[in-house]
Amino acid sequence: MTIIVINNKGQYNHRIQRSLQYLKIDSELVSNTLSIEEIEAKNPTGLILGGGPSLEGAGNSEEYIKYFDIPILGICLGHQLIAKTYGGEVSTSNTESYAQVKININNDENLFEGLAPEMEVWSSHKDEVKSIPDEFEILANSKLCDIESFKHKDKEVYGIQFHPEVHHTPKGSQIFENFYKICKQ
């Protein structure tokens, strides 16, 4: 039951893996340059695509999204990569900020189970998802961003703009526990 955390060179990628360790969730942080075969050999039950400075530095992340049919959680850049891979639009935010934000949770099943109707999160809005493809639904929004979170309608593929791995997101560990529950199903 290992969750593979894809390091997209963001400042919090190591914290994602450490947060999972604190929750006693088996995980491994790996480079985004690993091949599909190298990831497959680890027999993951889920993938978490970490944040990073740019879409250009995301290595093989888009290939992982296309190939693997296991639960996937994209965080910040990972969220944007999922949207882009499926045909959504990602661009620079109108309100670039790094701050604590209150998100409105529209769907409290699965990833947000036990967290609705609102949640304080640490959000990074340099780039953001501007539109999602038809096969996705929006799970959460905020005053700063219309698409704080989304889910694929038929697959266990989730994206979140915010960072559950930092202490500025007080209930962030619940996101990881909920994702782990999804992976175990």
Question: What is each CA distance from 38 to 4, 15, 30, 74, 141, in whole angstroms?
Answer: 11, 23, 10, 20, 36
Give residue 96's pLDDT band: very low, low, confident or very high (50, 70, 90). Answer: low
Which range among 31-35, 38-42, 50-54 shows the weakest confidence by mean pLDDT? 50-54
Which range among 49-53, 70-74, 149-153 shows the weakest confidence by mean pLDDT? 49-53
Which has more confidence, 47 or 52? 47
- pLDDT value at 95 more than 80: no
Segment 70-85 shows an average pLDDT of 96
Give residue 156's pLDDT band: very low, low, confident or very high (50, 70, 90). Answer: very high
- pLDDT value at 109 more than 80: yes
Return the active site residues.
76, 163, 165
